[in-house]
């Protein structure tokens, strides 16, 4: 079985926030936050179709130009989602450069920027090289719910969080799908064609192995056809890629509203990538800066019953001692007595639902799936 997403913390767990989520088999990727991107190869930046910006603190937003330089002369639209103010911020960033040479590019990038506002409002505008990134008309609309993108193979949700400034948490989800191995298809002497859709539908419907599948394809000598049992094709050329949900949370205060919104995205998720900047002993610092502690991050993972948690955004004050943050988070995630945080004042009962799968804690700067 393959994973739907391959996740990489571009700058590791202690550097600027930037999570590269490669959509396996889709030739594209989602980038969560724009901390410095110098560590990301241009060929990977070229796969970015969607950018999700949590908020505009420098360490989450300073890498924008590194992306811009790679995609500038490309005929593509990159969708960028951010909190209130993102359109203006991006327009000002782009307006700080001279674009007199924009006309010399045969092709150019466009950014379709979507703001998710507190209370369900949305604002959208497109900034394009072809227009020298001049501020475009802003479209305002209401959007009930937290969905910001829905495709057959990918959905993205966003919820506003309080970090003293507007901030967003995100969930990326891919449904279960069927992958066809073309090289194995060729080895069996079969060609590609619309019949592969029938095959995928039969696999997803759980049809019997004896179900006949009519393979029909165009060859140089004319149309060819063979009828094979579904079981043979299922064993030889098909792989089922399970659905997966990844939730990205940074930066936020320990408040009842934040806890509720994070849990609304993260309950039952496969992977929770979450900030864990401070030890519980330094909780006063975390409160003052509107951040979580490692204990609170692990407690959220415990309440949400995620399968695994990846902590990051470690404060440099713990350099050489990051294992302490990981240990505190691990104890809370496992729900050890006395290791979890008390719910914030006013929070609804966040007791976890019974765990369906065995929990596994992964702490890594580079993980698959
Ligand atoms: Zn911040």
Give CB contacts under 8 A, 24+ apart, made by 138-142: 138/87
% of the chain beyond a pLDDT of 70? 95
Is the confidence at residue 369, as pLDDT, over 90?
A: no
The rounded Å distance from CA 253 to ligand 1 centre is 10
The rounded Å distance from CA 50 to ligand 1 centre is 21
pLDDT per residue over 287-342, tens digit each? 999 999 999 999 999 999 999 999 999 999 999 999 999 999 999 999 999 999 99
Distance CA 235, CA 346 (A): 53
Distance CA 280, CA 292 (A): 9
State the pLDDT at residue 240.
83
**Stretch among 22-26, 45-49, 215-219 having the lowest mean pLDDT:** 22-26
At how many degrees (to 10) do helices 256-266 and 294-304 cross? 50
The rounded Å distance from CA 55 to ligand 1 centre is 7
Q: Give mean pLDDT, residues 236-240.
A: 89
Is the confidence at residue 352, as pLDDT, over 70?
A: no
- The larger pLDDT score, comparing residue 364 to residue 270, is at 270
Distance CA 65, CA 34 (A): 9
State the pLDDT at residue 354.
54
Is the confidence at residue 139, as pLDDT, over 60?
A: yes
**Exposed/middle/buried for residue 59 (C-beta within 10 Å: 0-12, 13-18, 19+):** middle
The rounded Å distance from CA 151 to ligand 1 centre is 30
The rounded Å distance from CA 289 to ligand 1 centre is 8
Is the confidence at residue 87, as pLDDT, over 80?
A: yes
The rounded Å distance from CA 147 to ligand 1 centre is 23
Is the confidence at residue 157, as pLDDT, over 50?
A: yes
Distance CA 44, CA 66 (A): 12
Tokens of 14: 């202690």
The rounded Å distance from CA 162 to ligand 1 centre is 10
State the pLDDT at residue 144.
83
Q: How confident is the model at residue 361 (pLDDT cuts 50, 70, 90)?
A: low
Is the confidence at residue 355, as pLDDT, over 80?
A: no
Q: Give mean pLDDT, residues 344-351.
A: 83
The rounded Å distance from CA 165 to ligand 1 centre is 8
The rounded Å distance from CA 251 to ligand 1 centre is 5
State the pLDDT at residue 314.
97
- Prediction pTM value: 0.84
Q: For ligand 1, a single-atom ion, which residues have Cβ within 5 Å?
A: 57, 251
The rounded Å distance from CA 329 to ligand 1 centre is 20
Alpha carbon separation from 66 to 20, 63, 98 (Å, rounded) = 14, 5, 17
DSSP letter at 171 equals E
- The larger pLDDT score, comparing residue 179 to residue 52, is at 52
The rounded Å distance from CA 250 to ligand 1 centre is 7
The rounded Å distance from CA 57 to ligand 1 centre is 5
Distance CA 232, CA 229 (A): 6
The rounded Å distance from CA 312 to ligand 1 centre is 13
The rounded Å distance from CA 167 to ligand 1 centre is 8
State the pLDDT at residue 168.
98
The rounded Å distance from CA 69 to ligand 1 centre is 25
pLDDT per residue over 93-137, tens digit each? 999 999 999 889 999 999 999 999 998 899 999 999 999 999 789
What average pLDDT does the chain have?
91
The rounded Å distance from CA 17 to ligand 1 centre is 10
The rounded Å distance from CA 308 to ligand 1 centre is 24
């Amino acid at each position: 079985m393959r994973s739907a997403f391959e996740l990489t913390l571009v700058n590791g767990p202690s550097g600027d926030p930037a999570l590269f989520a490669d959509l396996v088999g889709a030739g594209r990727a989602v980038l969560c936050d724009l901390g410095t991107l110098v560590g990301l190869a241009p060929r990977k930046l070229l796969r970015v179709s969607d950018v999700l910006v949590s908020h505009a603190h420098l360490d989450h937003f300073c890498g924008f130009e590194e992306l811009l330089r790679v995609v500038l002369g490309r005929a593509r639209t990159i969708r960028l989602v951010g909190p209130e103010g993102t359109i203006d911020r991006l327009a000002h960033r782009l307006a700080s450069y001279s674009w007199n040479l924009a006309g010399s590019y045969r092709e150019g990038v466009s950014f379709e920027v979507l703001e998710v506002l507190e209370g369900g409002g949305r604002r959208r505008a497109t900034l394009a090289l072809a227009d020298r990134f001049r501020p475009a008309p802003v479209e305002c609309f209401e959007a009930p719910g937290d969905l910001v993108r829905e495709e057959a193979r990918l959905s993205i949700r966003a919820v506003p969080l309080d970090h003293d400034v507007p901030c967003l948490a995100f969930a990326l989800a891919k449904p279960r799908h069927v992958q066809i191995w073309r090289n194995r298809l060729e080895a069996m002497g079969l060609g590609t064609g619309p019949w592969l859709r029938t095959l995928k539908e039969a696999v997803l419907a759980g049809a019997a192995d004896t179900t006949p599948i009519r393979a029909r394809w165009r060859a140089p000598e004319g149309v060819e056809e063979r009828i094979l049992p579904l079981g043979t094709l299922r064993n030889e050329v098909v792989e089922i890629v399970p659905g997966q949900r990844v939730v990205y949370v940074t930066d936020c205060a320990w408040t009842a509203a934040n806890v509720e919104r994070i849990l609304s995205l993260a309950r039952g998720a496969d992977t929770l990538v979450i900030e864990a900047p401070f030890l519980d002993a330094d909780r006063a610092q975390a409160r003052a800066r509107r951040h979580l502690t490692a204990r609170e991050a692990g407690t959220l993972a415990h309440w949400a019953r995620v399968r695994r948690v990846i902590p990051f955004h470690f404060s440099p004050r713990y350099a050489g001692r990051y294992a302490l943050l990981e240990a505190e988070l691990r104890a809370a995630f496992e729900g050890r007595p006395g290791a979890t945080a008390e719910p914030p004042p006013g929070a609804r009962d966040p007791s976890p639902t019974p765990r369906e799968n065995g929990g596994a804690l992964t702490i890594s700067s580079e993980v698959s799936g």
